[in-house]
Amino acid sequence: MLHGLRRVGASVAAITMLGLGVIATAGTANASESACPNNSICIWTSTNFSGNPAWVEDASTMHDHPNTYYQTSGTPFGGYSTDNTSLGRFCLYDINKDLSDILNARTAGNISNPADTFVKQC
């Protein structure tokens, strides 16, 4: 009987490990999102954090200069991903510096506004 329990225990352990493997795999689906350093604003030129961020800025620097518009690129992005790993709130602006999107603290996701060109503390 003890031999049978060991076999059942080993099977349960194997199933549990298999289940953990699936959970770990699902957790790494957006592995590129982790490419954004802590306390930073990161922008990818594609959706779902594909590849490396195209633009990274330290949020502390932006916080120290709250009236500065940081240009993210020479041209507005199309659909893209953003990650705000800071505790601050930052706003996205179009080429005319009109508010278009808000990046709340510790949020990440896809944004479809093709006109975003600048980032500034808000």
DSSP 68: P
Q: Output the pTM of the full model.
A: 0.70
Domain assignment present for residue 8? The answer is no
Domain assignment present for residue 4? The answer is no
- As a whole number, mean pLDDT of residues 78-99 equals 91
Distance CA 26, CA 74 (A): 35
Q: Name the least confident of 5-14, 63-72, 113-122.
A: 5-14
pLDDT at 4: 43
Distance CA 59, CA 37 (A): 10
Domain assignment present for residue 18? The answer is no
Domain assignment present for residue 76? The answer is yes
Residue 91 backbone dihedrals phi, psi, to 5 degrees: -115, 150
Tokens describing residue 74: 């020479």
Domain assignment present for residue 57? The answer is yes
Contact 35, 56 (CB under 8 A): no
pLDDT at 107: 95
Domain assignment present for residue 74? The answer is yes
Domain assignment present for residue 84? The answer is yes
Domain around 105: 31-121
Domain assignment present for residue 56? The answer is yes
Nearest to 16 by CA among 28, 4, 24, 5: 24
Domain count, the chain: 1
pLDDT at 117: 87
Per-residue pLDDT of 25-53, as tens digits, reads: 233 335 567 899 999 999 988 889 988 89
Residue 73 backbone dihedrals phi, psi, to 5 degrees: -165, 170
